[in-house]
Structure 1
Amino acid sequence: MTKKHSWKHRLHEIIYEADTKEGKLFDVVLLVAIIASILLVMLESVNSFDEKYHNYLNICEWIITILFSIEYILRVISIKKPLRYIFSFYGIIDLLSTIPKYLSFIFIGSHHLVALRALRLLRVFRILKLTRYIGASNTLLVAMRASKAKISVFLFFVVIICIILGTIMYMIEGAANGFTSIPRSVYWAIVTLTTVGFGDIAPQTPLGQFIASIIMILGYAIIAIPTGIVSSEIAKSSKDENNTQACPNCLKEKHKNNAKYCYNCGSVLNE
């Protein structure tokens, strides 16, 4: 292993992984910096606070922006194929959360877009090394994909029910009670069935109120059905443990604990 390869490999291990103390510390510091940056932008939007501490807030924001710029560059140079990171989801988010402050030289007010850094908090699962939750999120994703056909049929059934009930309520209540059209009545049925209940439309007749009561009770049963479908698929899913190790070649994460090669590109994980 050459010296050049050694420091790049070490840098990659610290920046992209959370299985070491240094890697976890790096990501925790990054998380704190992201939160601090978001708080600065929020405080800057308060006129009374900004008028008093504008220079201080601006200096702090520039310090954090420079740190994020350095971090972005380090992420690019620490991997074998930089374009994979640059055009990845996190790569685009990292870039978008860094450039707004620089754009403020050209477009006034654009620096407020640094609030996009909130999206970087998605790294929290890897940062805190919650491997069991990473595995759980994987299982949930697989279960939802397996359930999409059943859930689609269920949602189609719910839409039909709402159309039927909305039409019935339109005939019973009429325009005098706010049900001015079938689409508006269907809107009321959806709002009632989902137990949201904005209260902008309400049935006035005894029969309409009776049907509304049935819809409200039905709403609680409908909430439980998708949960049961997904839960059934989760029970069928595997529960293999994954770690936070990222492939230095393709940046894929969530490898098995004892994996030596990347499941995506076949590259060696531990060199």
Structure 2
Amino acid sequence: MVGKPKSIKKKIYNIIFTTNGRYAYLFDVWLLVFIVLSCIGVILESVPSIDNRWGHILLIIEWFFTIIFTIEYALRIYSSKKPFKYIFSWWGIIDFLAIIPTYLRTFYPPIGVLLDIRILRLIRVFRVFKLKKYMTGNNIMMIALDKSRPKILAFVLFVVLLAVVLGSVMYIVEGQQNGFNTLPECIYWSIVTLTTVGYGDIVPVTILGKIIATFIMILGYGIIAVPTGIVSAEIVEEKYKKN
């Protein structure tokens, strides 16, 4: 009799926490489907026209998924070898935040503004696909990123300083009469242009301003490539060391 609960607990653990067997596979597939559908529901609920017309149906659907995720959360705690470690782990906190907003809204409606944190459920897709193995300390990518950090930070500092200088130049060249009213706005424009985003809310009018803007746009493409090159070089070096 004592061994039976332990056997059930172990089976639940294997289904929920591992990928061993058909039931574990089916659990992951259905969990992925529920996560995606629930997030679609959260997104649709944020659209006023849809919420006004279909809000009651979306609420029922939301409660369905919340109950499913609550049962899953309870089973994870029950079957976990160290329940408290799971509860206060990264995934445990994400699982908790994925279900608690719906309950809080029932008892305290003003909390509804926090309902959008339910979109954190989407992060759980990483667990379903077992993507954690790509983020471990032994992974070449993570080692390369860690080693690239000082170079990338220095490069980011250089880009920020460059944006300040270019913004200041545009402030002098274009001036307030052409929409470049303040230095912060000019720096904002230089960052937007340097990253090749180009919102178009502030645009140069003078010939010299347009020439400078063209130079910044071309420079932006080169700047985007630099971090990629830094990380790629570290990845090649790590692969060379391992081989």
TM-score by length of 1: 0.74
RMSD (Å), alpha carbons: 3.2
CA positional deviation for 1:142: 2.6
CA positional deviation for 1:216: 1.1
Q: For residue 75 of structure 2, what is the aligned residue in structure 1?
A: 74
Does residue 105 of structure 1 match 2:106?
Answer: yes
| CA contact 2:35–2:125 (8 Å) conserved in 1 | no
Does residue 93 of structure 1 match 2:76?
Answer: no
Q: For residue 151 of structure 1, what is the aligned residue in structure 2?
A: 152
Change in 2 beyond 3 A, CA 1:57/1:191: closer
Amino acid at match of 2:93: I
Alignment of structure 1 residues 34-49 onto 2, 5 Å: 34-44=35-45
Alignment: residue pair count:
239
CA positional deviation for 1:213: 1.4
Does residue 234 of structure 1 match 2:235?
Answer: yes
Please say which of residues 1-10 and 196-205 is displaced more in the overlay: 1-10
CA positional deviation for 1:76: 0.4
CA positional deviation for 1:170: 2.1
CA positional deviation for 1:110: 4.7
Q: Which runs of 5+ in 1 are unaligned?
A: 240-271
Change in 2 beyond 3 A, CA 1:27/1:153: same
Change in 2 beyond 3 A, CA 1:110/1:220: same
Change in 2 beyond 3 A, CA 1:131/1:158: closer
| CA contact 2:97–2:117 (8 Å) conserved in 1 | yes
Amino acid at match of 1:7: I
CA positional deviation for 1:149: 0.3
Amino acid at match of 1:232: A
Does residue 184 of structure 1 match 2:185?
Answer: yes
| CA contact 2:31–2:128 (8 Å) conserved in 1 | no
Alignment of structure 1 residues 87-236 onto 2, 5 Å: 87-108=88-109, 110=111, 115-128=116-129, 138-236=139-237
Identity value in percent: 49
Please say which of residues 115-124 and 47-56 is displaced more in the overlay: 47-56
Amino acid at match of 1:12: Y
Change in 2 beyond 3 A, CA 1:74/1:191: same
Amino acid at match of 2:197: V
| CA contact 1:19–1:129 (8 Å) conserved in 2 | no
**Residue-by-residue CA offset, 1:33-87 (whole Å, 9 max, x unaligned):** 2233334444555667666666554444333322222211110011222111111
Change in 2 beyond 3 A, CA 1:143/1:42: same
Distance 2:13 2:210 in 1: 64
SS at match of 1:203: coil
Please say which of residues 156-165 and 222-231 is displaced more in the overlay: 156-165
Distance 1:230 1:103 in 2: 44
SS at match of 1:202: coil
Larger helix proportion of the pair: 2
